[in-house]
Amino acid sequence: MENSKGRKRVVLLGATGSIGESALKVACDIPERMEIVGLAAKSNAQKLAEAANEVRPESVCLVDETRIDVLRRALDYQPRIFSGEVGLLEIACLTNADMVLVAIVGTAGLRPALAAIEAGKDLAVASKEILVMAGEIVMREARENSVHVLPVDSEHNAIFQCLEGKRRTSNIQHPTSNPFGAERSAFDVSDVRRIILTASGGPFRETPRKDFDSITAEQALKHPTWNMGPKITIDSATLFNKGLEMIEAHWLFGVEMDRVEVVIHPQSIVHSMVEFADGSTLAQLSYSNMRFPIQYAVTWPDRVPNTLPPLDFSKLSKLEFFTPRYDDFPAMNLARRAGETGGTLPAVMNAANEIAVAAFLNRQVRFPD
């Protein structure tokens, strides 16, 4: 799929968000391995044009058709311009693209993700809602179209790296104790005891439950570790984001929900862990920067030098791990039950959360509501 120079040709959906910005930095850092051939955004025409003027993809897409004239005026060259929801599907299927990186917030990324898979494009997934809503469909379509689904979330990218030695070969049917069947996952997880997702705990990790009623949107938007968009930042404050990640891990790696656990790790250095049947545990560590998982998703299976700093262990004073406060942050147990029940329940739960987050940001409901 890659061109003769080993460079991955990538369509970036959600180019103006925090993940999109990090992906553009990766492309500029390793131009010999990553070429942006398409950029898409919802409505920020000026920012999309600035990104396009920098990396000069052959195609751009703005979903908000009322802002197309703004986009045209801001571009300093003449790429092919797509618009609207149909345009988003079209740019996701560009003939010369190898991979589509889906960094669209919320549920809007599902249709272009499925279109990309059907067009034979590898999928790098930053929008966890895609797998929460339709994990079974996405993974089945990926298998049937012989494409890879590569996680961009730092936690799932860490698990992906820890499980790399467990990858199945394409021409062998492996026996497995996994009830989903031998081809349910690209990995043989029969000897995986637990997948352990780490969470920073968010800004209210130590806040007493009695003070939750007075938490404001401004306070909730101040994440202690990551610089993210407003929706995922609120999800991180409620730990709903970690609940979504539990379901995402269930589908990505073919493990039952009762083998997916969460620990609070305030330093956000250990991005996740895999515990095996023999009691050994593998973990992936790095500084908190989304460029690490984005780059590995794009260059996999290769590891490529970059300008990011490696860990300096002499400066790490401590690595702490705590049990989550499930009673105070019930979203994780809710997500576990939804993942175990399956069907449409995860999609309904996700939709309800999107409405609740919007209401909280608009000061219509309180934080614990």
Q: DSSP readout, 266-287?
A: TT--EEEEEEETTS-EEEEE--
Q: Which two tokens stand for residue 355?
A: 């409405």
pLDDT at residue 341, as a whole number? 95
The phi-psi region of residue 213 (left if phi > 0; otherwise alpha if psi is between -120 and 50; otherwise beta) is alpha
pLDDT at residue 5, as a whole number? 55
Roughly how many angstroms between the first and final C-alpha of the chain, as a whole number?
A: 48
pTM: 0.91
3-class DSSP state of 153: coil
Q: If we measure between CA atoms, which residue out of 106, 49, 47 comes closest to residue 78?
A: 49
Tell me which amino acid residue 264 is. I
CA distance 159 to 156: 5
Q: If we measure between CA atoms, which residue out of 130, 105, 132, 103 comes closest to residue 25?
A: 103
Whether the link from the prior residue into 301 is cis, omega within 30° of 0, is yes
Give me the torsion for CA of 301, 41, 96, 133, rounded to 10°. Answer: 60
pLDDT at residue 189, as a whole number? 94
Q: Contact, 184 vs 250, CB < 8 A?
A: no
- Sorted by where each begins, the domain ranges of the chain are 8-127, 192-288+310-361
| pLDDT tens track, the chain, 369 positions | 555 458 999 999 999 999 999 999 999 999 999 999 999 999 999 999 999 999 999 999 999 999 999 999 999 999 999 999 999 999 999 999 999 999 998 889 999 999 999 999 999 999 999 999 999 999 999 999 999 999 999 999 999 999 987 877 543 333 333 333 334 568 899 999 999 999 999 999 999 999 999 999 999 999 887 778 899 899 999 999 999 999 999 999 999 999 999 999 999 999 999 999 999 999 999 999 999 999 999 999 999 999 999 999 999 989 999 999 999 999 999 999 999 999 999 999 999 999 999 999 999 999 998
Q: Contact, 164 vs 151, CB < 8 A?
A: no
Third-level CATH fold of 8-127: Rossmann fold (3.40.50)
Tell me which amino acid residue 150 is. L
How many degrees, rounded to 5, is the angle at CA 149 between CA 188 and CA 350?
Answer: 100
pLDDT at residue 46, as a whole number? 98
Q: Which two tokens stand for residue 347?
A: 């999609």
Distances (CA, A) of 195 to 30, 258, 260, 271, 345: 31, 10, 5, 12, 23
